[in-house]
């Protein structure tokens, strides 16, 4: 068994393509199949090396390793269609089909073909190519070729027939070939058409299962005819449902159809992204949402893939990313966020010991949905005392708030200001004063951090240390005329 992921380097690797790569990768892992990466770059004008680099970079970041690729070839196999085109692989196959009667040279100009289309439209009929070049004599064909007349090579559909595709996701799909034109397999510039190149490549590379997007369903009957003409075994097909935006239309850049490396740069974790994409059109039997790679592979069943389009919800993706962030130890998370730290954050936290840096990260871990949010939540640690005073002046404290602050300073002053010390002091105030946690936590948070929200307060104050906490409390109390406790 062998599957393949075959992107075109006419743009960056985006979410839709990643989902296709993921299902091929999971299928290969599940059943021990080979996995091929093929670069379909026959569109010379739009294909760019930087897009291919982005595809490789994205797959590498996601950990979707390939058994065969341009970087890891099997013997002398070529995995870029442009290289295969340079070796005349497609032209040779096309000429073999001409010799066996399955293809022919076509010499119509674009103007002649446009006239055919216009006539069909005037008759109210769907356009089907007339096939008149197929009626040319061998002498006429030779004369045209010798004179340098431009040509294409077309595949001969043959007598009308029904082609049934047994799709692994959708079941039987029936196609009537009388609705198909004899289609071009070699263009006038010598490059192969998509429907021809992919068949030749899949045949040569031994692909047994083709897992791809549903936008390729209409291509399938043409490709099956080419397989048969080449005497090749037709692979099994599985067409994945399309990914939709929030408005149920095709996914746009606004809804998430951006480069997968942009998600990396925003602070998404590869496992979170793959877990989320696996649930777009598929679900495990037990209905769980958070699945490790091993669990995804063990539970994967292609028959559970839906026929209906799946809506991409970036809020859900961010939530899932937050769940994965919380699965890491604080030490691991510190390493993960380092590439996202601003110069201000780096400068500020470098004065703290590694132990305290880990405590900082632990204190904000439950707040993070993206690694890139780290600077926002580290602000309370890196803010200068001058800026702290400016922010503090924006708040006011009631008499009850002042009493809470005085009690807190008193209870904390004889402690080490550990996480447990802070928790105990605040809980004691709640119990003694008969106050809810909000009435206690909020004024203490504002008075010690100048923020009305943020990480778990006992974690944050244990990083500050007793001296800084008492100094800030005294500033707040003095401002309101209460004096130091």
Please give the positions annotated as active site. 253
94: left (phi over 0), alpha (psi -120 to 50) or beta: alpha
Are 323 and 290 within 8 A, CB to CB?
yes
Are 261 and 13 within 8 A, CB to CB?
yes
3-state secondary structure 257-286: CCEHHHHHHHCCCHHHHHHHHHCCCCCCCC
Structure tokens of 130?
């007339």
Give strand ranges (E) for 413-456. none
Are 260 and 18 within 8 A, CB to CB?
yes
d(CA 154, CA 105): 6
Structure tokens of 29?
């892992």
d(CA 228, CA 12): 34
d(CA 67, CA 62): 15
Q: Are strands 209-213 and 236-240 parallel, antiparallel or unpaired?
A: parallel
Instruction: Give the list of residues 6+ apart from residue 343 with CB closer than 8 angstroms, or none.
Output: none
Q: What secondary structure does DSSP assign to 103-172, as a single string? A: EEEE---HHHHHHHHHHHHHTT-------GGGG--HHHHHHHHHTT---EEEE---S--EEEEEETTTEE
Instruction: Give the list of residues 6+ apart from residue 16 with CB closer than 8 angstroms, or none.
Output: 213, 242, 243, 251, 257
Per-residue burial over 342-359, b if 16 or more Cβ lie within 10 Å, else e, is: eeebeebbeeeeeebbbb
């Amino acid at each position: 068994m062998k599957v393949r992921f075959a992107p075109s380097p006419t743009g960056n690797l985006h979410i839709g393509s990643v989902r296709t790569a993921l299902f091929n990768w999971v299928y290969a892992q599940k059943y021990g199949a080979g996995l091929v990466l093929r670069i379909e770059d026959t569109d010379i004008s739009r294909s760019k090396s930087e897009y291919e680099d982005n595809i490789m970079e994205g797959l590498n970041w996601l950990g979707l390793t390939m058994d065969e690729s341009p970087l890891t070839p099997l013997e002398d196999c070529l995995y870029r269609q442009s290289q295969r085109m340079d070796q005349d692989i497609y032209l040779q196959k096309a000429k073999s089909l001409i010799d066996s009667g399955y293809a022919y040279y076509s010499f119509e100009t674009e103007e002649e073909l446009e006239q055919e289309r216009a006539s069909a439209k005037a008759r109210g009929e769907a356009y089907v190519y007339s096939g008149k070049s197929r009626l040319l004599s061998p002498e006429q064909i030779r004369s045209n070729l010798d004179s340098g007349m431009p040509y294409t090579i077309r595949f001969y559909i043959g007598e009308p027939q029904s082609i049934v595709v047994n799709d692994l996701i959708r079941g039987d799909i029936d196609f009537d070939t009388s609705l198909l034109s004899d289609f071009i397999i070699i263009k006038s510039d010598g490059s192969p058409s998509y429907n021809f190149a992919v068949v030749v490549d899949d045949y040569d590379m031994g692909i047994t299962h083709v897992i791809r997007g549903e936008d390729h369903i209409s291509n399938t009957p043409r490709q099956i005819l080419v397989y048969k003409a080449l005497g090749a075994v037709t692979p099994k097909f599985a067409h994945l449902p399309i990914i939709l935006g929030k408005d149920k239309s095709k996914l746009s850049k606004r809804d998430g159809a951006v480069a997968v490396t942009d998600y990396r740069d925003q602070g998404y974790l590869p496992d979170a992204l793959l877990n989320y994409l696996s649930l777009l059109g598929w679900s495990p039997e037990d209905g769980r949402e958070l699945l490790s790679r091993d669990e995804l592979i063990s539970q994967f069943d292609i028959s559970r893939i839906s026929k209906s389009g799946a809506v991409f919800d970036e809020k859900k993706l961010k939530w899932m990313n937050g769940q994965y962030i919380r699965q890491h130890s604080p030490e691991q998370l510190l390493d993960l966020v380092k590439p996202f730290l601003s110069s201000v954050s780096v400068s500020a936290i470098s004065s703290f010991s590694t132990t305290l840096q880990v405590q900082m990260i632990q204190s904000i871990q439950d707040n993070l949905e993206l690694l890139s949010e780290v600077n926002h939540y580290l602000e309370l640690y890196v803010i200068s005392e001058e800026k702290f005073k400016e922010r503090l002046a924006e708040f006011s404290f009631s008499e009850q708030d002042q009493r809470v602050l005085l009690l807190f300073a008193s209870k904390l002053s004889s402690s080490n200001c550990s996480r447990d010390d802070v928790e105990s002091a605040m809980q004691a105030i709640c119990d003694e004063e008969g106050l809810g946690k909000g009435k206690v936590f909020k004024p203490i948070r504002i008075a010690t951090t100048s923020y009305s929200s943020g990480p778990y307060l006992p974690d944050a104050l244990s990083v500050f240390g007793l001296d800084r906490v008492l100094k800030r409390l005294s500033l707040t109390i003095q401002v309101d005329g209460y004096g130091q406790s």
